[in-house]
Structure 1
Amino acid sequence: MAPKLKIAAIQAEPVWQDLEGGVTKSITLIEEAAKQGANVVGFPEVFIPGYPWSIWAKSPTDNAAFMDEYFRNSLVKDSDEMKRICAAVKEAGIFVVLGYSERFKNTLYIAQSFIDENGVIVHHRRKIKPTHVERAYWGDGQGESLQTVAPSTLHPSVKIGGLNCWEHTQTLLRYYEYEQNVDLHVSSWPVIWPHPTNKDGERDPDWPGHISDEMSLRFSQIVALEGACFVMVCTQVVSEESKKRCRIDEFGYANSTPGDGGGFSMIYSPWGEELVKRPPPGEECILYADVDLAEKAKAKQNLDIVGHYCRPDQLSLRVNKPPSKKYVESLQTRIRHLEAQVVSLGSQPASTQSDPNAQDADQAESTGEDDEQSPLSDLTGLVGRLNVIDDGQLHYFGSQSSYNLVREPLCDTDPHEPSLRVRRQGLAAAAQLGKIVSVSDDLQEHLLELYWRWQNPWNYVIHKSAFLKSFRGEDDGKYCSPLLLCSIFAIAARYSDRIELRSVADEPSTAGDAFCEHAKILLLYESEAPSITTVQSACLLALRIMSDGKEALGWLYSGNATRMAHNLGLHLDGSKWTTAGLVSEEEAEARKVTWWGCYVVDKLFATGLGRPSSTPKSTISCPKPSIDNVEEFTPWLPGSDSLGGEKSLGIHSHISSTACHLSEIMTIACEAMDDIYAANRKLAISEMEDIVSKTDVELRTHYRELPSYLRLPASIKTPMLPHVCLFHIQYHAHLILLHRPLVHKRKRRSVVGVDATLENVGDEGDEYANRHMATCRDSAAEIARLLRVYKQQYTLRRIPIAAVHLCFSATVIHLIDARPTNPDRQQAIRHLQTCIDALRDLRTAWWAWSERALRAVRLLAREWYQCEDVSQLQDRSGLRAETAAGAPADFDIPDGAVAGVSGVSFGSSRGQGNCGSSGDGGSGGGGVGGRGIVESDTLAFLFDVATPDQYTDGLVKEWLAESGYDVLNSVAE
């Protein structure tokens, strides 16, 4: 429901050249607007200490003393004067966009501060290009000033934007604000008078036509029309008495219209209509308008120049943003760790430092680069070779096997015969067992369309062009087999609502079961003579079987896929084999696509189940797939049966690019996590910090350098490819899993090998200031936001199964943040609700895996909040935290929740089983920190339809422990 608000545009005279007076008058105007019930208030440009028109009227030398006084009366953003204004805003409980001349060190900027209802400056920007003579006195705004929109804290869905004066003429800047989904725009202006006229009333032909009150109004009105937003035009006025103080009493333009004070404030609707009567130009007043933001949606339905009425595939805006604060902080952290390492290495003898040239020479010698044809070179080579054995397929043999020494085929078998034989055997076995599934042409086309649209763009494991050639019978059929078709149909069926695909008509979770059973039989036989299609099928079946909750079998099939891929040498660079004619160009590309698709599936299983991956980076030389013109540039459309997709999307699919970048961030993150989470690695905190900081910088660097078409759009209204959205969710899940082991509130007790002095420096006593927890919290919030965007644009009915674990990772962080000790608890609960709702939506396609995640969240909530059953948590009126001895204590982040090891869960020991109540929190000391907390149970939604199931709960507990959430067996420290 779009909110209804009262907005206010100020038309007032500044207290010229008087910082203290300007602050006091600003506070008075804020208080007056609040009394009238305003929710959002806009100020004119440089209201403090007023706009110095004398810079246009007099020379810089003549104005030197005046501008020196102006400099001293300009406002410092972090000053006591600004704190007074912020305190007044907080007291008023309104959102203010304040325009002022900012003094920063020895430079002035034309600034706007966005102050929320809590009196916090949530955004600060500077005019990106001062106008004409302004450049002699004010500096240019930096890259962060390109962000012109900030959300209201009281009304998070309301986005408030602002521009200064001639920034409204910057077409691209305006467009970028529209992309930021502005709802209410503050158009800040100085005093501007009408176009000057001569004594006969004729317009002065030599005066610049852009400098007039009427033109300024038109520049503001165009924002309302283009952006379909409400616009508050806020202007200064100047009295006749003040003109001498401002040194413009002899300035012709200021006096061309006697009695005109230069004000022209107005409020426009999203249709460009005037919502108020324009006040006299010399009158001080506040204009008010009651606005319904639903009007914006109506206007957008008709014209949305950053949405349905744009062509981002042909015309797009690229914004040169500065490095984010988080990226800079990540680099700073990394630098600190590297400096510490340099200091520690500086004490080592020089002889211990290696010579890179010597290493290169050693490497060249060991690999025999200088004598490739020598038998000794073959014998000492480190890289293996492909060879044909009795199943007719190319197989990889490493140098340890000695089979790599043989250059001729070990067998001259027809390469197609073994594969065809096992396929025939598999089909015969399936027929004998009654597992053959017949598929009509219509159903086959339906399932293939779903697969190419929703599954393959994310898990890019099948080279579509090669597959379709074989599917249509245009080649020997090596890229399409009955097994691969059944596997495709088995997973694609989960995206379909057609009843005939289900084993049980009213249970969507049974869709594709018949295809899955058929494929499992075929895979059993085809594993004897695997080919590329066998690897692809095993990957798809692994994902499909996970949706049934059969994680052991899914894990097995994922392992089979990687083993078969290694067997076929898919992990190696095949360029030499292509040159030698062993592998065609098409096959080489299909091998690369298959390998990296298999690689991603392996990493998804490793992170989803908390197990080691089987594809270490050190074993891989296969290059990333080339950019396939069909996969990359074919327009992506949701399809005629879309459940809510953006029908007009039609932008390039960018499937190849997404796959390459997905595998790259998987490599960066998972290699580090394999070290961090390894069962036999006893890393000191300093060592773990080093790995995390290094990987964090690598991830953020790669993320910053993404091509524009893979970046998030500035506005949630801008259509986004579903697999690109999921890519960003995956990135943020990596950040959570990377930083989670270092989320601790308290310092650890001294342990051998742990340097406690390096842990959370500067963060003691407040886990909310812990930078690792902050990273997890920010990424979890971004995942919740992206899930809302995906749901809005496509619904969660059609999203790959990987979304379940990504959502679960964010849910755990929000659950931790939902404690009463968290000052931002309500925001955490909102994000938690979003993730819980998403997991529930995901049950339609991925029932068992989503249900397991939901049950896990309930178990964690019970354990961390110390409730033995559902009714206790649902009925409680507060939460209680106690130590094992019963003494009051703050809630603490359970070590197992963040580090994957046994530790202390916050609250009392499990044996007490007390949830607390309003009566417990008084004299009994049951409240947090000794204070009773009485509030409604805002977490009860976690336990909706939670039926007791001890057997399933036991399985989930085992899975939680294996996945790094071993808090259910924790003991008090």
Structure 2
Amino acid sequence: MKCDGAQPSCAICKVYKEECVYNPEADGRRSTPKAYVAALEERVRVLEGMLKNAGLEAGAGEAKPEPPENETTPETAGLDRLKIDETTGELFEYGPTSLFKHVPEGSDDASPAATLGPSPMGAPPAVGAERPALLRPREVMIAELNCPELDDTTHEKVLRLFFDYFNPQSFWVDERKFRRDMASSPVVDGTIIRARRTAHYSPLLHNVILALGVAFLEIPVEVREQLGIAFSKRAKDLLEEEAETAMLSTVSGVLLLGSYHASVARHNLGFMYSGIGLRLVQALGLGTNCNYWVTNGAISEETKQSRYNMWYCAYILDKCWSTYVGRSAALPLAQHDIPVPTPDAEEDELIWHPIIHTPRSETFDPKVGQAAIELSDAIATANAEPVKGWRSTTFVWMIKLSIVAERVLSTVYSINFNIRSSNVRHVVSELDVLLEKWLDSIPDELRLPTAGRSERVVPGHILSLHAFHCFILILLHRPWFANCSPTTLDAGPDGSVAKCERAAAKFMTILQMWRRCPGLRYSPVTLGQVAFSAGTVHLLSASHCASKQSRKFKACVEHVQTCITALREMGETLKCAAVSANTLQKLLDESYAPAPPKPAPPPAPTPNAGFDIAAMLQNPMFAEQLKSLGWAPPTAGGAGPALSTGTGGSAASTPSGPMNGVPGTNGAIDWSLFGHLHPLGGMPMNPANQGAGEQGQNIYDVLYAGGSETAFPAGNAWQWPFGASDGAGVGL
């Protein structure tokens, strides 16, 4: 209760019969963080600068907005966001926030979806050309499990892992209502899936939850993948049936199906399913305020709140997908009138089960097609005291952070973004204040422990919330960090360099806490995204160090390696994290790997190197070039002597007669005329100068070999390369 200020004793002191003492100089409230004060001061400086640029003094009036400055033309805007896919030739968009912008084309880390085979000629088709649809199926390392089932104990543990470690960040599924509707549905013999559909339970949703949950089991990777593929396939088989008469559970299931494919490094397929989920959000009108329907009694207050929660779940996912693949968001808040929900006290009371140690079983080997797979003995259990989850409060504050994230993406990562615009700096300073205010206003229950209480167990979704705050702060300021030089670090706009580095350093602390409990293999997809972004910040910091021997440089490189190691640990569960680890490792190697030695110059061509000029002339392009130089193809009826060819260990006979009719040749050929025709840059060997012991085919062998099937029929070689003149002689 607050003090009512009554004198001589306030109401609280009267109730508790305490002496009422009030000191106006003492303030028991928590002090304002320095970062928040610094952000406000920087905001004031930016606003004053804008007034000055507009010819106004501070407080003299309102400055007119500056017209946007565009550094790009409409023809070039956004071209840097497009990448050509090596297998299909199509253009894909990956904006600056996406790690896939850095994945090399044709890399093994590309999405392992079905790919196009090579063209019939064995060479990749030209860009923009039609490509044959020679689809190759994805490699399947293990046999498919068409009817996956889990025993009751394992099923419960999979649900527990999902609701503890995947669901709380975006609140896809209301656990209490899901379990309530599942329990009230009739049991079907031979399966754990119920046939009933409600707003909070459906067979599609149940299968997707299992596909995601089994990834956290401590069982062999092959078995986890097998189960995940099987459950997701069953969910996709139900998609058309449920989508036609969609319910809230259908929306949750399809959005989760997109997240499942993101976790297994099939981001384009995941992006497609998330898009279907967002269309269902529109189809159900979840972005519309429905107070009118509650007042009229058409729907209940609980249904209204469930609709609002589902809309904000989709809103958060939309921003996560936008940053993940670097594409524009699809659900702008300005077009919807949905109030931010208030925390649900009952949901907050649900406990969270921490895992400190997870023993691994090496003996489990399920049989494909088994009616019920016994996994109980191979699954790690929580071995620390459960803690209060605060799931609903975390969800509400994630919504507030996503609202700021939407403005960051639309301002700093729009196609026409101009880093030098004062309008942009104005908005950036405002967003920086909002981010600091968000952190200062967060409830104590969601705060990270101080240095003295670092051993306190913090639920993973609360750590994920703070990691996402670091991520948005990095995204807000990284463009200026990436564009500054080592000599202008201190003069960076709005202190962007220092803010990026502080956010990345804070994330390293969050990473350590997550590794301790519950372990990085229990991470959501977004944590890998933040780890990659923090690694790029440390990489930028290292690149701006004056010396590679400095302490800061070594610390930055060590932080990058820590991020790579963390991503590899996450990769035990999330394939997408393994892709991020490989990409970040590549960036580190390219930045600081020793320069490769200069290649040795190519050896000089051997004058008497053997070559097959007949085969060369069968190439239409080569023949066309020779024709342009005046060469006429030989004809079968031309005159000329048939000559013996040089073979084996004897020297070929020097031809006599064919060149005697050529003015200026005196019966000899000037071989320098044909040096440019040799594929290796050398000149063919004159058989008159060829040693008796030399091997290989020479130009005389080819020109005078004869034969109607050859490029040079017998008796016509003397015409090459000058062309015939009425068949009676050689004309130059």
- Return the TM-score normalized by structure 1: 0.44
User: What is the one-letter code of the residue matched to 1:812?
Assistant: T
| Distance in 2 separating the partners of 1:832 and 1:352 | 44
Change (3 A) 1:542 1:345: same
Deviation track 1:510-564 (CA, whole Å, cap 9, x = no partner) reads: 5511111111221243222222111101111111101221111111111111121
Over 3 Å counting, the alpha-carbon distance change for 1:743 and 1:141 in structure 2 is farther
Is structure 2 residue 199 aligned with structure 1 residue 478? yes
1:713 — aligned with what? 449
Q: Deviations over 1:370-396 (max 9, x none)?
A: xxxxxxxxxxxxxxxxxxxxxxxxxxx
- 2:160 maps to which residue? 449
- Check conservation: 2:564, 2:585, Cα contact below 8 A: no
Tell me the secondary structure at the aligned position of residue 462 of structure 1.
Answer: coil
Matched, 1:597 2:313: yes
Partner of 1:463: 174
Q: CA 1:333–1:591 in structure 2 vs 1: closer, same or farther (change >3 Å)? A: same
Tell me the residue number matched to 1:670.
406
State the one-letter code of the partner of 1:651.
Answer: V
Equivalent residues of 2:242, 2:250 under 8 A apart: yes
Which residue identity is paired with 2:252? Q
Partner of 2:209: 488
How has the CA–CA distance of structure 1 residues 334 and 640 changed in structure 2, closer, same or farther, with 3 Å as cutoff? Answer: closer
Change (3 A) 1:545 1:688: same
Say if 2:198 and 2:249, in contact at 8 Å, map to a contact too.
no
In structure 2, C-alpha distance between the alignment counterparts of 1:633 and 1:538, rounded to whole Å: 28
* Alignment-derived partner of residue 332 in structure 1: 41
One of 842, 854, 861 as aligned partner of 2:588: 861
In the TM superposition, what is the alpha-carbon distance from 1:492 to its structure 2 partner? 0.9
Opposite residue 636 of structure 1, the aligned amino acid is W
After TM superposition, give the deviation of residue 698 of structure 1 in Å.
0.5
Residue aligned with 2:387, SS: coil
| Residue 497 of structure 1 pairs with residue 218 of structure 2 | yes
Q: Structure 2 vs 1, CA of residues 338 and 712 (structure 1 numbering), >3 Å: closer, same or farther?
A: same
Tell me which of 497, 506, 526 is aligned to 1:802: 526
Number of the residue aligned with 2:499: 775
Match of 1:828 among 548, 556, 561: 556
Contact 2:354 2:459 in 1 (8 A): no
Q: Which one has the largest radius of gyration?
A: 2
Q: Does residue 1:614 correspond to 2:342, yes or no?
A: no
The residue aligned with 1:13 is none
Aligned equivalent of 1:569 = 285
CA distance in 1, matches of 2:411, 2:147: 45
CA–CA distance in 2 between the matches of 1:537 and 1:851?
25
CA distance in 2, matches of 1:797, 1:620: 37
RMSD between aligned residues: 3.4
Q: Secondary structure at the match of 1:330?
A: helix
Structure 1 residue 637 displacement after superposition: 2.2
Q: How many residues are paired up?
A: 459
Task: Calculate percent identity across the aligned residue pairs.
Answer: 25
Residue 785 (1) aligns with residue 472 (2): no
Looking at structure 1, the residues matched to 283 and 403 of structure 2 have their Cα atoms a distance apart, in angstroms, of: 21
Selected match of 2:539 from 815, 821, 831: 815
Distance 1:602 1:351 in 2: 36
Q: CA deviation at 1:766?
A: 5.0
What is the Cα deviation at residue 629 of structure 1? 3.0
Cα pair 1:479 1:533 within 8 Å, conserved = yes
Q: Give the Cα separation in 1 of the matches to 2:521 and 2:488.
A: 44
Deviations 1:823-881 (A, max 9, x none): 5112213322321111010011102x112112211332244347677x99xxxxxxxxx
CA 1:609–1:521 in 2, change beyond 3 Å: closer, same or farther? same
Relative contact order higher in (CA < 8 Å, ≥ 6 apart)? 2
Q: Indicate conservation of the 8 Å contact 1:437/1:518, yes or no.
A: no
CA contact (8 A) 1:669 1:699 kept: no
Partners of 1:713 and 1:649 lie apart in 2 by 17
Aligned with 1:520 (options 211, 214, 236): 236
Whether 1:625 aligns to 2:349 is no
Asked whether 1:702 is paired with 2:429, we answer no
- What is the alpha-carbon distance in structure 2 between the residues aligned to residue 780 and residue 341 of structure 1? 30
- Cα distance in 1 for partners of 2:515, 2:356 equals 18
C-alpha contact (below 8 Å) 2:520/2:570 kept by paired residues? yes
Task: Flag structure 1 segments of 5+ consecutive residues without an equivalent.
Answer: 1-139, 144-318, 355-432, 748-759, 873-973
Once the two structures are TM-superposed, the CA of residue 469 in structure 1 deviates from its matched residue by 2.1
- Residue 351 of structure 1, CA deviation: 11
Q: Distance in 2 between matches of 1:865 and 1:640?
A: 36
Q: Does 1:739 align with 2:464?
A: no
C-alpha spacing 1:510/1:815, structure 2 compared with 1 (3 Å):
farther
1: CA distance, partners of 2:409 / 2:62: 33
Q: Conserved in 1, the CA contact under 8 Å of 2:389 and 2:459? A: yes
Aligned to 1:237: none
Structure 1 distance, partners of 2:413, 2:309, is: 29
Per the TM alignment, residue 451 of structure 1 is displaced from its structure 2 partner at its CA by 1.3
Distance 1:631 1:641, change over 3 A: farther
Structure 2 unmatched ranges of 5 or more: 1-23, 66-143, 186-195, 360-379, 599-732
Name the residue aligned to 1:635. 351
- Structure 2: how far apart are the matches of 1:829 and 1:630? 45
Kindly provide the amino acid, as one letter, of the partner of residue 388 in structure 2.
H
Q: 1:590 is paired with a residue of what secondary structure? A: helix
Following superposition, the deviation at residue 625 of structure 1 comes to 3.2
1:572 touches 1:620 (CA, 8 Å); kept in 2?
A: yes
Contact 1:814–1:829 under 8 Å retained in 2: yes
**CA–CA distance in structure 1, aligned partners of residues 381 and 340 of structure 2:** 30
Which runs of structure 2 are paired with 1:234-383 in the superposition (5 Å)?
320-343=29-52
| 1:306-360 CA distance string (max 9 Å, x none) | xxxxxxxxxxxxx944222222221111111222334456769999999xxxxxx
Structure 2 residue aligned with 1:239: none
Letter in 1 for 2:393: S
Aligned mates of 2:456, 2:145 — CA distance in 1:
49
How far apart, CA to CA, are the structure 2 residues paired with 1:434 and 1:510? 7
Cα deviation for residue 678 of structure 1 reads 1.2
Distance 1:826 1:466, change over 3 A: same
Q: 1:679 to 1:465 in 2, by over 3 A?
A: same
Please say if residues 261 and 269 of structure 2, whose CA atoms lie closer than 8 Å, have aligned partners that are also in contact: yes
Q: Deviations over 1:677-696 (max 9, x none)?
A: 11134464322221211101
Distance (Å, rounded) in 2 between the aligned partners of 1:639 and 1:764: 46
* Greater strand content: 1
1:630: Cα distance to partner? Answer: 2.9
The Cα shift of 1:657 comes to: 0.5
- Counterpart in 2 of 1:437? 148
Deviates more, 1:835-844 or 1:592-601: 592-601
Q: Is the 8 A contact 1:646 1:719 kept in 2?
A: no
**Could you say if the C-alpha distance between residues 434 and 795 of structure 1 is closer, same or farther in structure 2, counting changes exceeding 3 Å?**
closer
Residue of structure 2 in register with 1:945 after alignment: none
Structure 2 distance, partners of 1:141, 1:818, is: 47
Instruction: Give 1:452 shift.
Output: 1.4
1:26-37 aligned at under 5 Å gives the runs: none
Distance in 2 between the 1:711 and 1:645 partners? Answer: 27
Question: What one-letter code is carried by the residue in structure 1 that aligns with 2:546?
Answer: T
Spell out, residue by residue over 1:17-44, the C-alpha distance to the aligned partner (whole angstroms, 9 max, x if none). xxxxxxxxxxxxxxxxxxxxxxxxxxxx
